Amino acid sequence: MVTVSGLSKRYSKEVLKDLSFELEEGALTVLMGPSGCGKTTVACMLAGYIAPDAGTLAIDGRPITAAGPDRLMVFQETALWYWMTVLDNVMFGPRASGAMSAGEAREKALGLLRKFGLHEFRDKYPGQLSGGMRRRVELAQAMINNPRLMILDEPFRGLDVMTRGLMQEYYLDLFAESRRTTLFITSELEEALVMGERVLVMDERYLELKRQLMATLYLPEHRVDGGSA
Ligand SMILES: Nc1ncnc2c1ncn2[C@@H]1O[C@H](COP(=O)(O)OP(=O)(O)OP(=O)(O)O)[C@@H](O)[C@H]1O
Ligand SMILES: [Mg+2]
């Protein structure tokens, strides 16, 4: 469904060199690599926020040249508007783009908040929520747009170990229900193994060899399907 081919990017130094991979429809793929190896750069290219120096990205065979509602990104830092209530935050995207009427957006947002266990908190402000709850609001904020591809850039970074474990289970349940094609980015092996049906490894040491290596590790069965990795 997503094809990335020969991606290169240089800032003051070379960040990506000839990077290629594919994302399968309905799969949860993990992109793992150490801090600074270029994971967020790849995510921003898929989202259409930045352009590569060389290489191509395509979704459903169409080249990615700009941001679009078919691809949504949840960032490693919180992106909620602290002056808006939880409900308004979730409704904001489709309202701002004009994709839904106020009534429709409100109904969808309330449905998602119910699913995310946040319905009672709809009139609270982000500052009144715990870190895990804010992350769930962000997921709802992305899901309301019904994207073809979810890009989650270290979405649980900074959460305590227990909350993180719960959020991982939470997303896996959600994924099992929707099978929405997901690229899940992490810098931690343990999280990669918990989350990934398939783990793509980006290792910056290979940059010295003038080539970016993507090793693909296929896990036998996905954990949500009762398999063990
Ligand atoms: N706009 C920019 N201008 C200059 N350099 C940049 C820019 N964005 C990223 N970089 C550099 O590119 C490299 C890759 O950054 P990127 O944020 O993609 O890494 P990352 O793998 O997401 O790291 P982390 O795990 O810490 O989030 C880093 O060395 C970073 O300093
Ligand atoms: Mg990053």
Strand-pair partners of 8: 54
Does residue 14 lie in a domain region? yes
Residue 143: per-residue pLDDT: 84
CA distances from 161 to 16, 32, 156, 166, 168 (A): 31, 19, 10, 9, 11
The residue to which tokens 């409704």 are assigned: 91
At 42, give phi and psi (nearest 5°).
Answer: -60, -45
pLDDT confidence of residue 184: 95
What range does the domain containing 210 cover? 2-70+147-225
Measure the CA–CA gap between 149 and 63, rounded to whole angstroms: 14
Residue among 8, 31, 40 whose CB has most ligand 1 atoms within 8 A, to mutate: 40
Task: Please report whether residue 194 resides in a domain.
Answer: yes
Protein residue with least CA distance to atom 2, ligand 1: 11
Q: Does some domain include residue 40?
A: yes
CB of 116 closer than 8 Å to CB of 137: yes
| Ligand 1 near 186 CB (within 6 A) | no
Q: What is the CATH number of the domain that holds 48?
A: 3.40.50.300
Flag whether 29 is in a domain.
yes
Phi, psi of 9 (to 5 degrees): -150, 135
What are the two backbone dihedrals, phi and then psi, of residue 67, each rounded to the nearest 5 degrees? -65, 150
Are 199 and 219 spatial neighbours (Cβ–Cβ below 8 Å)?
Answer: yes
Ligand nearest to the CA of 38: 1
Contact 8, 52 (CB under 8 A): yes
- Please name the residue whose Cα sits nearest to atom 6 of ligand 1: 11
Q: Closest ligand 1 atom to the C-alpha of 41? A: 18
For strands 54-59 and 62-63, give the pairing: antiparallel
Quote the mean pLDDT of the chain.
84
Overall domain count for the chain: 1
pLDDT confidence of 87, banded at 50, 70, 90? very high
Q: Closest Cα to residue 153, out of 186, 125, 128, 179?
A: 186
Ligand 1 center to residue 159 CA distance, Å? 21
Compute, in angstroms, the gap from residue 41 CA to the centroid of ligand 1: 6
Q: Is residue 127 part of a domain?
A: no
**pTM, to two decimals:** 0.83
Q: What is the pLDDT of residue 223?
A: 43
Distances 162 to 52, 117, 121, 189 between C-alpha atoms, Å: 37, 17, 21, 17
Domain assignment present for residue 214? The answer is yes
Read off the pLDDT of each residue in 196-225 and give the average, rounded to a whole number.
56
Question: Model confidence over 115-169: pLDDT tens digits?
Answer: 888 999 999 999 999 888 998 899 888 888 888 899 999 988 888 888 889 889 8
Bridge partners of residue 202, in order along the sequence: 214
Pick from 153, 136, 228: which is nearest to 187 by CA? 153
Residue 94 in tokens: 């489709």
Residue 174 within any structural domain of the chain? yes
Instruction: Evaluate whether residue 64 is within a structural domain.
Output: yes
